[in-house]
Amino acid sequence: MIEIHNLSKTYAGGVQALTGIDLKIESGMFGLVGPNGAGKTSLMRILAGLLRVSSGSVSVFGQDMGTAAGKQTAKALLGYLPQELGFYPTLSAREFLDYMAILKGVTDKRLRQTQIEQLLEEVRLTDVADRRLKTFSGGMKRRVGIAQALLGNPKLLIVDEPTVGLDPEERVRFRNLLSGMAKRCTVILSTHIVEDISHSCNDLAVMSKGRVIFRGAPAELVQQARGNVFTVLLRDEPPDGGLSVVSTLQMTDGVQYRVLGKPDGRYEAKPIEPSLEDGYIWLMQHAAQPTS
Ligand SMILES: Nc1ncnc2c1ncn2[C@@H]1O[C@H](COP(=O)(O)OP(=O)(O)OP(=O)(O)O)[C@@H](O)[C@H]1O
Ligand SMILES: [Mg+2]
């Protein structure tokens, strides 16, 4: 479905955002995880046909994104929710979607209306569809964004950091909405929150400093930390000796630390099952840093 070969991207100012990316993405829900500045947005903009590559090749649905014709064909089949979606604050949700549908080339008015009403229903915004967007909460705006990306029934949905700024409840709802989408089209989701992908993605890549440092199933990422996750209960000082604390829990008899590393004999450490987040943090700390 998507094939990326030896892709690099250097911005005009000289920042090398992507280096030698090789990726194949199949159907289902694909997660792209990495810290700030890893290159997630750059990669997604390239996949959406909005940013040119410096070298290498990208094909989406067998279309070469390096050619104008290929890009045009692929773009008609995909929907994109950017990290920063520009809204028209004085338009209502319904008006905004109508406007976006026209831009996407849905010229038939009746067809547009049917599609928009369906999408409003799907993202649960029908009741507020005539309110101006400037009165919407962050979560509601994200849902308008998803509806916008789904106009024209794309076969590929690209969503960049869709859960940023959402409260935990809204985040869970949004995740479920995306999982639902993944049943009918391929979804590529970028995030720096590992939790966002733990329940929904069957395949993921971890990016760091413009490179892919891990590619596989969530369970394989969890494996990275196996044998290196412990809890230690301490009364006073936090643990030292090269251990990194992932989380803490206040107990009646001290503080329980969840740590990554190999605790030495000073600590009474209990080994525990790693989580996806443990695997991610372990990988970030131990991934071989390429020299070139
Ligand atoms: N338009 C631009 N011009 C110059 N440099 C840019 C531009 N956009 C991004 N960069 C740089 O490219 C690198 C990758 O940025 P990118 O936005 O792709 O990362 P990201 O993984 O999406 O980060 P975040 O989690 O903060 O959204 C960063 O060093 C960034 O400063
Ligand atoms: Mg980004």
The string of pLDDT tens digits covering residues 237-258 is 888 878 899 999 999 989 999 9
Whether residue 82 has its Cβ less than 6 Å from ligand 1:
no
Position 184 scores a pLDDT of 84
Position 292 scores a pLDDT of 41
Position 288 scores a pLDDT of 60
Task: Return the CATH number of 2-218, one of 3.40.50.300, 3.20.19.10, 3.40.190.10, 2.102.10.10.
Answer: 3.40.50.300
Model confidence pTM above 0.95: no
Q: Which residues contact 135 (CB under 8 A, 6 or more apart)?
A: none
Q: Tell me: the pLDDT tens digits for 24-83?
A: 999 889 999 999 999 999 999 999 999 999 999 999 999 999 999 999 999 989 999 998
pLDDT < 70: residue spans in the chain: 288-292
Specify the residue with its C-alpha closest to ligand 1, atom 31. 37
Whether residue 192 has its Cβ less than 6 Å from ligand 1:
yes
Position 291 scores a pLDDT of 44
Position 289 scores a pLDDT of 55
Domain ranges of the chain: 2-218, 227-273
Identify which of 10, 36, 188 to mutate to test ligand 1's pocket (most ligand atoms within 8 A of the CB). Answer: 36
